[in-house]
Amino acid sequence: MADLPVYTDADPSMAELLATHPHLTTDPMCGLMFEGVPLNAIADAVGTPCWVLGAGTLRQRLKRMQTAMVDAGLDVSIHYAVKANDHLSVLSLIGQEGYGVDIVSGGELARTQKAGIAANRVVFSGVGKSDAELEYAIGLGIGQINVESAEELGIISAIATRLGKQATITLRINPDVDAKTHAKITTGLAANKFGIPFDNAAALYARAFTLPGLKPVGFATHIGSQIVSTAPYHAAYARVAELVRTVRASGLSVEVVDCGGGLGICYRNEVEGQPEALAGTIRAELGELGVRLSIEPGRWPVGPAGVLLSSVVLRKQEGLPAPFVVLDAAMNDMVRPSMYDAWHGILPLAPQAFNQPVTPTHVVGPVCESGDTFARDRLLPPLERASRIAILDTGAYGAVMSSTYNSRPLATQVLVENGQWTVIRHRQTLEELWQDETIPAHPTGKA
Ligand SMILES: *Cc1c(COP(=O)(O)O)cnc(C)c1O
């Protein structure tokens, strides 16, 4: 069994989870509702496992971020981090609302183009952009490339020159700041692979102005994910501000600072990151510089906007101190618990379940790995065979990280909007699992 983190405080109760997730409500007849739609109705129609995403919640949360920045008197554009949830419906909504995007691959760039997002609203981050990806991005006239190394700066200059283009670039700075989050999602420490070492940045920025095909406009930073305090942001932005002043003093222009993403949400009982506090931090550290600012949130807007519906395949209890409830969803669908020891809320769908006594329950998937565990000793009402549950806060780093491990087809995805719901991805068929595979006519060694 994977060692989940040991929490010394009690898990939130079902009532407490409902209180921290206002888009989830209960109805005495229908049970658990999501943006006013009974989740049982969706599961009845399309089966489980099934991802449900709420357009209303996503819009509201993006709006709250934008309002926070405007209210702080800041000129901040929002670039949604595509990797959190790259579904075309999400990107289309982002484009319609007028936001930009932050991408980390050519595939993500292609999706943004498919979703109709103008190339000049796209920012390209990432530590290992291939030549083909850079050619594609520069050829399209992408808005900005965040350069992560001295080596990459030279490569971009060469490609842009060859294409007869000018690439607008910032340098992504590694501020050597501890974001105080899970080690696998910390990106701003000197030991991490991301960004340019702070002490090299000023000289490299000067060099960028001497290289052909480049238009250096400023700096970017991104220190990690699921950050719920402002202290690491203060520390990182103070260093970036220091850098801006240094290079300006040497006569170089700086027009842009990209503040990255990383704002955390309430999975368990964290006080979720507040966009208003982030805006205050940005204003305090960067507000006087007279630069165009941007943020790159992924998890914060879209994480709480999704749930994963699942049914109990069986309840394994005989001879055991606590039951194992085996779901039809597994680590191949949602890898966060096994990969990051992530804690996700679990709520039943049935109306009567909210009034029943709770007992410690292990919630697991059917995949042949002990790490395929969603929760240990979770206080839940009796979950019998065919009972349904919702796993909360799966809108970010959920479906997008799915695989077909154990030959388990990718699950259905549904979008809820204005009290209506639509299938936005059909359940993968068994044939689709192997449709891109071929068997050689003469297998090796048998020719
Ligand atoms: C992943 C990532 C983000 C988004 O992070 P969240 O924690 O989801 O907000 C933003 N910028 C860059 C460069 C990233 O790699």
Check whether 332 has a pLDDT greater than 70. yes
Confidence (pLDDT) at 444 = 66
Euclidean distance between CA atoms 443 and 24, whole angstroms: 54
How many CB atoms are closer than 10 A to CB 333? Answer: 28
Q: Are 300 and 393 in contact (CB under 8 A)?
A: no
Confidence (pLDDT) at 445 = 63
For residue 312, what are the β-bridge partners? Answer: 327
Confidence (pLDDT) at 1 = 37
207 Cα: distance to centroid of ligand 1 (angstroms): 27
Do β-strands 76-81 and 292-295 pair in parallel, antiparallel, or remain unpaired? parallel
Q: What is the mean pLDDT of residues 28-49?
A: 98
Euclidean distance between CA atoms 194 and 146, whole angstroms: 11
141 Cα: distance to centroid of ligand 1 (angstroms): 22
133 Cα: distance to centroid of ligand 1 (angstroms): 19
Question: Apex CA 395: angle with CA 92 and CA 310, to 5°?
Answer: 125
Kindly state the tokens that stand for 199. Answer: 């002490």
Q: What is the mean pLDDT of residues 312-340?
A: 96
Q: Which residue has the higher pLDDT, 444 or 357?
A: 357
Superfamily of domain 55-301: Alanine racemase (3.20.20.10)
At 265-296, the pLDDT tens digits run 999 999 999 999 999 999 999 999 999 999 99
261 Cα: distance to centroid of ligand 1 (angstroms): 5
Ligand 1 atom closest to the Cα of residue 146 is: 13
For a pocket test of ligand 1, which of 222, 257, 300 has the largest count of ligand atoms closer than 8 A to its C-beta?
222
Check whether 434 has a pLDDT greater than 60. yes
The pLDDT-based confidence of 3 (bands split at 50, 70, 90) is: very low
Q: Which residue has the higher pLDDT, 189 or 344?
A: 344
Q: Are 297 and 37 in contact (CB under 8 A)?
A: no
At 220-272, the pLDDT tens digits run 999 999 999 999 999 999 999 999 999 999 999 999 999 999 999 999 999 99
Check whether 38 has a pLDDT greater than 50. yes
266 is catalytic: no
Q: Are 16 and 354 in contact (CB under 8 A)?
A: no
104 Cα: distance to centroid of ligand 1 (angstroms): 9
Stated as kind and residue range, the H or E segment containing 194 is none
Binding-site members for pyridoxal 5'-phosphate are 262, 296-299, 397
Confidence (pLDDT) at 421 = 98
Burial grade of 41 (CB within 10 A; 0-12, 13-18, 19 or more): middle
Q: Which residue has the higher pLDDT, 191 or 109?
A: 109
At 335-393, the pLDDT tens digits run 999 999 999 999 999 999 999 999 999 999 999 998 999 999 999 999 999 999 999 99
Handedness of CA 339, 107, 85, 432 (dihedral sign): negative
Which residue owns the Cα nearest ligand 1 atom 3? Answer: 261
Ligand 1 atom closest to the Cα of residue 303 is: 8
pTM for the predicted model, two decimal places:
0.95
Length of the chain, in residues: 447
For a pocket test of ligand 1, which of 125, 171, 336, 397 has the largest count of ligand atoms closer than 8 A to its C-beta?
125
At 137-183, the pLDDT tens digits run 999 999 999 999 999 999 999 999 999 999 999 999 999 888 888 88
Ligand 1 atom closest to the Cα of residue 125 is: 13
For residue 388, what are the β-bridge partners? Answer: 311
At 51-70, the pLDDT tens digits run 999 999 999 999 999 999 99
Superfamily of domain 14-54+303-433: Lyase, Ornithine Decarboxylase; Chain A, domain 1 (2.40.37.10)
Q: Which residues line ligand 1 (CB under 6 A)?
A: 81, 83-84, 102, 104, 125, 222, 225, 260-263, 296-300, 396
Euclidean distance between CA atoms 412 and 416, whole angstroms: 13
How many CB atoms are closer than 10 A to CB 126? Answer: 20
Binding-site members are 262, 296-299, 336, 340, 369, 397
Binding-site members for substrate are 299, 336, 340, 369, 397
Confidence (pLDDT) at 190 = 81
Distances (CA, A) of 269 to 198, 343, 345: 35, 10, 10
Q: Where are the domains of the chain?
A: 14-54+303-433, 55-301
- Provide, rounded to the nearest whole percent, the portion of the chain with pLDDT above 90: 91
Ligand 1 atom closest to the Cα of residue 264 is: 7
Check whether 446 has a pLDDT greater than 90. no
Which residue owns the Cα nearest ligand 1 atom 13? Answer: 125
Confidence (pLDDT) at 2 = 39
Rg (Cα) of the chain, in Å, rounded?
23
